[in-house]
A and B are shown apart, each in its own frame.
Chain A
Amino acid sequence: MMPAQIPRVPVAIVASSRLLREAIARRLAAESDLVVLAACPTLTDVLATPGANRIQVLLLVADGQNRWTAFCQARDVLPQARCVVLLDDGHAGDAFHYIQAGALACVGLGGSLGALLDAIRAAAEGRVAASGAVLAALIRRLREMSAACQSAARSLPASLSDRELEVARLVARGLSNKQIARQLQIRITTVKTLVHRILKKLQLPRRRDVMLRIPGGETP
């Protein structure tokens, strides 16, 4: 037994691609400060693994079925786990949504192994990390957002009611209708109506885009 051994960070991997999942798992296992608890095709499989509640870092490869919905589910059922999202370069722009909704790091699948290891370690320490194509997309999105915020600051207060603004802020934080209903103690049908009205008023196609237009949408 080594006397002063640093505790290893328990990591779980969700990836549809079997080869990628197993290769990453094997490679992470070679790191002395990490331990792979599970490497599964879906989040459901990870949750069924004994010790799932000990997971500190969840590595979600956004491929196949594992995308936004899986991420939101992970955040809800594994609140103690920090999420690192691996995106293919075509979806690098989505990094913004994931980080806004609480992911700690985003790495492009076109990125390097070193960047992935850095991101996992950063997440374990609670730091935000991004690199490569994902970082470039984030910067681009920030520019768009700052422009959108400026015009939104002028038009928003007049267009949205207080209640709508309240709901819009929660939508911008990535909460589901159910969670919003619970938090505001209103019926889910009311939330749906309000969200529908918000999207219509702001002329946005998807609820994910609400965070682009709501200045107070950042996670507290």
Chain B
Amino acid sequence: MIGRDNPKPTPIDCEKGGRLMPIRVLLALESPMLCETLADLLARQEGIEVVGHASEPLDLLVAVEKSEADVVLLTFPEFPNLPGVCSHLFAEFPELVVLGVSPDGQYACTCRQEVRVKPLEGAGLDDVLAEIRSVPTTP
């Protein structure tokens, strides 16, 4: 973990090591109703912060940079194929985790740099929440 081996950790590093920093989530789902409902639910969760939403790929690139998001919840129009925007995202933000959801809301997967795709057991709310919680926060 960050700051673990640092002899004089800064206060912020301590917070991150102790998982006190909230996980920053950016929503970029196709369905506005789903987006808003999830944003509302996530905002009620301890340790999770919703840092915004984006509806267009270009907005998404800007929003990730601005919000310093740790994880992006994204609709994969051709699930499980990664949308083109992912390669840009991973090139710019190597630590970013993308949580892909199929348009019909039935399947989900997480993707990290080097296109490591891990399918989730289901696209249930609890599957998605657990996956968000497992994301390490970055400085």
> A22 contacts the other chain (Cβ, under 8 Å)?
yes
The 8 Å CB contact of A17, one of B32, B36, B106, B128, is B106
Give the interface size bracket for B toward A. Answer: 20 to 34
The 8 Å CB contact of B122, one of A18, A86, A88, is A18
Residues of chain A whose beta carbon lies under 8 Å from any beta carbon of chain B? 15-24, 26-27, 30, 63-64, 86, 88, 107-113, 116
Given contacts A26-B41, A112-B32, 14 further A-B contacts (CB under 8 A): A17-B104, A18-B123, A19-B38, A20-B33, A20-B34, A23-B125, A24-B37, A27-B40, A88-B31, A107-B33, A108-B33, A110-B33, A112-B33, A113-B36
Docked-complex contact B33 and A86, CB < 8 angstroms? yes
- Binary contact readout B73-113 vs A (1 if CB under 8 angstroms, 0 otherwise): 00000000000000000000000000001001110100000
Docked CA distance A108–B33 (Å): 8
> B47 contacts the other chain (Cβ, under 8 Å)?
no
Docked-complex contact A19 and B123, CB < 8 angstroms? yes
Docked-complex contact B124 and A22, CB < 8 angstroms? yes
Docked-complex contact A113 and B33, CB < 8 angstroms? yes
- Binary contact readout B28-71 vs A (1 if CB under 8 angstroms, 0 otherwise): 00011110111011001000000000000000000000000000
Docked-complex contact A112 and B124, CB < 8 angstroms? no
- Binary contact readout B121-134 vs A (1 if CB under 8 angstroms, 0 otherwise): 01111101000000
Residues of A within 8 A of B125 (CB): 19, 22-23, 26
